[in-house]
Structure 1
Amino acid sequence: MGSKMSNAPVYFTVAQIQFNAVLNLENYIPLIQDTMRRAHFPDFKRQIQQALVQLNMGGEQVASPNLPPQSRYLFGDIEGKSVFVLESNALSFQTTAYDTFQVFSRTLLEGLATIHSVLKLDFTERAGLRYLDAVLPRDNETVADYLVTEVLGLSGKLAGKMLYSFSESVAMTLAGQLVSRVIVQDGNIGLPLELMSVEPKIEPKFTRFNGRHAIIDTDMFYQNREKFNLDTLASRLDTLHDEILKSFQATVTPHAFSVWA
């Protein structure tokens, strides 16, 4: 996740920048779409979503009948592997064709610069970065060869089909809040439910695998209202990535690095 690996485990990456709300966003979409099209993101879609609210009990999200449906706008590449998602107060960029963080960050910031050139944004208030890495053991290997003991739970001790074993650690750092999750399960690689609405195409080398595997889900965000500045955001994303990399390195074994290098 730092320098490029020849057999990198990352299969999905998303970053989001939240900014001051633009309630008449619809009026600007034709101009934004034309610019995104010329930047090689020509696959335009408009989605209507019912707003969700977070319940206090159990953290479950449900649709609220008191909140009107919201529009969001997707600008995807030809291959269907990378897409910008624009909402009234946020822009996210997600890809299943991750190369390096430098390439990913530059693409996000170029898209954000396009949005800013049209909307003239005033401030940002949240920057987030999330990685999903697939641990797919080779023949005669297990996930225990790739992950440290602390995140394995009882996945190696219980008989039968493993529906899931879940580990989560949350830390507040000077750079923001870090959430590190590891899910061990049997079956095929997939995406968490909240990420499936855009439906990016996952690389076949990940989807072909069927068996016991693990997903390392690392999410880092910084929340503070700041005057809009692309250089500040670039630095903020660098810091978020550094913290995610530290968490990733603490989660996997030397053997994993030797396989993925």
Structure 2
Amino acid sequence: MNGIMSNPPIYFTLAYIGFDEVRALAKYVPDIQEEFRKAGYTKYAEQKSDRLVIESSDDETRPDISVREEISWAFGHSDSQSNYLLSESGLAFQTTCYLGHIDFFERLLQGFSVLRRIVGIETTTQVSIRYFDAVIPSPGKDRSDYMASKEPSEIRLDSDKFRHRATNSYSVFNTTIDVPDEGTMGCTLMIGTSWFNSRIGLPPDISAEGLKFEERFVHEDPIKHVVVDFQHRLEVEMSFDEALINNVLLQLHGAMKTAFSEIFSDIALKEWQ
């Protein structure tokens, strides 16, 4: 979790800052893209998707349901190991080559400073981090050897038509952090464990198109492995202050690091160290 491990299980990470929706963001994208291009993020892509929107209506028994087209913009580094993903309500920094949380958070804040300068965003609504770890057993070991808890029960179907692919378990925890001049704030930590017999991948809510993964995480054939998805977020409106946001990120990371040491067994921690 801290980038010091010699053989860390981390294969994908993202850090995110949310803000109030800017529907006119598209007109600023050319200037934003030019700033990122100068910083080495030369790969550009625009992505469109549909989002189901449910809003209250005059008739309280029948909400208004509509489909809204969402646009996001990806600014990828020339080495294809990291990118910025921008939407009308947030900026994420993503990487498949995690070198420690200090550099990681610094990159996110550098990207957000571009938005502040060009778009004029001064208020944030969310700060979050998300880490994906892949547990790939060494020869002679089982996935369960690496986990502090047992594999969740799986549903078995006695038919040749069904091949078991994954068993998932999610836990949600309330946490707190102390924010200077703001006091104690509540956060949400979610940890998901997925026991797979497949290739290593990412959930559908993650957009990692154009990013290259480390070779040890790339397998053509299905393999037995466990993916642990750590998500820790603070959702509160705050005036942007770089030192304040960095402090929040460090505290979110600190709590996640503690969870990391409890999720995995001593066998895992020793092998990765």
Q: What is the Cα-based RMSD across aligned positions, in Å?
A: 2.3
Residue type at the aligned position of 2:248: R
Indicate the residue corresponding to 1:169 in structure 2.
171
Query: What's the CA shift string for 1:31-90, capped at 9, x where partnerless?
Result: 111110011101111112212348xxxxxxxxx972331221110011222110111121
Indicate the residue corresponding to 2:50 in structure 1.
50
Distance 1:10 1:240 in 2: 17
Q: Structure 1 residues 136 and 161 mapped into 2: Cα distance closer, same or farther (>3 Å)?
A: farther
Indicate the residue corresponding to 1:187 in structure 2.
198
Question: Contact 1:43–1:77 at 8 Å: present in 2 too?
Answer: yes
Question: Contact 2:76–2:210 at 8 Å: present in 1 too?
Answer: no
Shift of 1:25: 1.1
Distance 1:53 1:139 in 2: 48
Question: Contact 1:20–1:122 at 8 Å: present in 2 too?
Answer: no
Indicate the residue corresponding to 1:85 in structure 2.
85
| 3-state SS in 2 of match to 1:51 | strand
Greater Cα shift, 188-197 or 249-258: 188-197
Distance 1:233 1:189 in 2: 32
Residue type at the aligned position of 1:39: A
Tell me if 1:227 matches 2:205.
no
Question: Contact 2:3–2:98 at 8 Å: present in 1 too?
Answer: no
Shift of 1:158: 11
Tell me if 1:244 matches 2:256.
yes
Query: What's the CA shift string for 1:153-180, capped at 9, x where partnerless?
Result: 247x999964222222111111310001
Gaps of 5+ in 2: 55-63, 178-186
1:56-71 maps to which residues of 2 (within 5 A)? 66-71=66-71
Shift of 1:148: 1.0
Gaps of 5+ in 1: 55-63
Distance 2:25 2:157 in 1: 52
Q: Structure 1 residues 161 and 136 mapped into 2: Cα distance closer, same or farther (>3 Å)?
A: farther
Indicate the residue corresponding to 2:60 in structure 1.
none
Once superposed, which parts of structure 1, at least 4 consecutive aligned residues long, lie more than 4 Å away?
157-162
Indicate the residue corresponding to 1:103 in structure 2.
103
Query: What's the CA shift string for 1:174-196, capped at 9, x where partnerless?
Result: 13100011111212111111114
Query: Matched residues, percent identical?
Result: 27
Residue type at the aligned position of 1:190: G
Distance 1:114 1:141 in 2: 47
Indicate the residue corresponding to 1:256 in structure 2.
268
Q: TM-score, structure 2 length as denominator?
A: 0.85
Indicate the residue corresponding to 1:153 in structure 2.
152
How many residue pairs match? The answer is: 251
Tell me if 1:201 matches 2:203.
no
Shift of 1:211: 2.1
Shift of 1:20: 2.4
Distance 1:37 1:7 in 2: 32
